[in-house]
Amino acid sequence: MLGLLKLIQSIIKTLHSAGTPGQVAAGMALGSALGLTPIMNLHNLVIFSLLVLLNVSFGGGMLGWMLFVPIGFLLDPVFDSIGLHLLQAPSLRPLWTSWTNTPILPYTNFNNTVVLGSFVGWVVLAVPIFFAARYGVARYRATLGERVRQSRFYKAVTASQVYNIYRLFRP
């Protein structure tokens, strides 16, 4: 229940934050990597760092993460298949051999079919996610945004202490 509330809070805050639709969309595109790929991998540490360091919406990133976790679970068989295909491609074997025998890189676990497949899936989907999110956020702000901003529900959410911490990271 708490998770659901936080999700709603995150969505509301992000959609109404000062960030441009492009910043929110970029955050969502980056955050979707955390949801689409298995979380406990080195590349997700890099994604998280980018989310914090780049001038994109951090809330958008968290929103992207939460939205794409169930999609990641659903697409696992597809990712497994993509990863297996790539890892078994004879032309790519020298690349994987070199990669898995280079310091640090093996900790990315890219020799796992689901990790590689989901990462490649995210790379392919990142651009469509960005454009779709940017369009969606812009449309929302132009249509429903102001009415929601005036609602008591929005005011209650933004009045919470958590929101103050969030403001520190907003773009």
Partner 1 sequence: MKFKVFRWKAIGPLLLVFGILCLLLWLFAEPVARDTTEEASSELLGTEVDLGKLDLLPRQASVNLRALQVADPFMLTRNLIEADEIRLKLNPAALAEKKIVIEHLSLHGMRFGTRRKTPARPPSGKGFAPQVYRAVQQWANQFNVPLLSLTPIDTIRQLVLDPTQLSTIRQAQSLLARTDSTRKALEQGFQQLDIRPTLDSAHALAQRLAATDPKKLGLDGTRQAIQSVQQTLREVEAAKKRVAALQQNTRTAVQVLGQGIKTVDQARQQDFAFAKSLLKLPTFSAPEIGNAFFGKVSIERFKQALYWAELAQKYMPPGLLPRPTPGPRRLRAAGSTIEFPKARDLPRFLLEQGQLDFSIGGTSELRGAYAATVQGLTSTPALYGHPAVITAHRRATGSAIASIDVAAVINHIGALTHDSANARLRGIQLPSFDLPGVPFRVAPGIGSSELAFNLKGTQLFARWGIRSNQVSWLADTTGRSLNDLERLVWRVMSGLNDLNVVAEVRGTVSSPKLSVSSNLDQAISQRLQAVIGEEVAKAERMVRSKVDSLVADKVEPVKRQVAALQAEANQRIEAEKQRVDQVEKELNAELKRLTGGLAPGIELPKIKL
CA-CA distance, 63 to 26, in Å (whole number)? 11
Q: Rule CB under 8 A: choose which of 7, 11, 100, 140 binds partner 1.
A: 100
Closest CA to 165 of 9, 38, 55, 3: 9
Query: Which element (helix H / strand E) includes 171?
Result: none
Let me know: does 125 contact 132? Beta carbons within 8 Å: no
**Would you say 103 or 147 has its CB closer to partner 1?**
103
Based on the shown chain and the rule CB under 8 A, indicate whether residue 87 belongs to the binding site for partner 1: yes
Distances (CA, A) of 39 to 15, 17, 34, 114: 25, 26, 6, 12
**Would you say 126 or 148 has its CB closer to partner 1?**
126
Based on the shown chain and the rule CB under 8 A, indicate whether residue 117 belongs to the binding site for partner 1: yes
Least distance (Å) between residue 34 CB and partner 1 = 12
Least distance (Å) between residue 154 CB and partner 1 = 25
Based on the shown chain and the rule CB under 8 A, indicate whether residue 140 belongs to the binding site for partner 1: no
Based on the shown chain and the rule CB under 8 A, indicate whether residue 164 belongs to the binding site for partner 1: no
Based on the shown chain and the rule CB under 8 A, indicate whether residue 70 belongs to the binding site for partner 1: no
**Would you say 120 or 148 has its CB closer to partner 1?**
120
Let me know: does 141 contact 21? Beta carbons within 8 Å: yes
Let me know: does 86 contact 118? Beta carbons within 8 Å: no
Buried/exposed 98-119: b ≥16 CB within 10 Å, e otherwise: eeeeeeeeeebbbebbbbbbbb
Based on the shown chain and the rule CB under 8 A, indicate whether residue 55 belongs to the binding site for partner 1: yes
Footprint of partner 1 (CB under 8 A)? 38, 40, 49, 52-55, 72-73, 76-77, 79-80, 83-84, 87-88, 93, 96-104, 106-107, 109, 111-115, 117, 168-169, 171
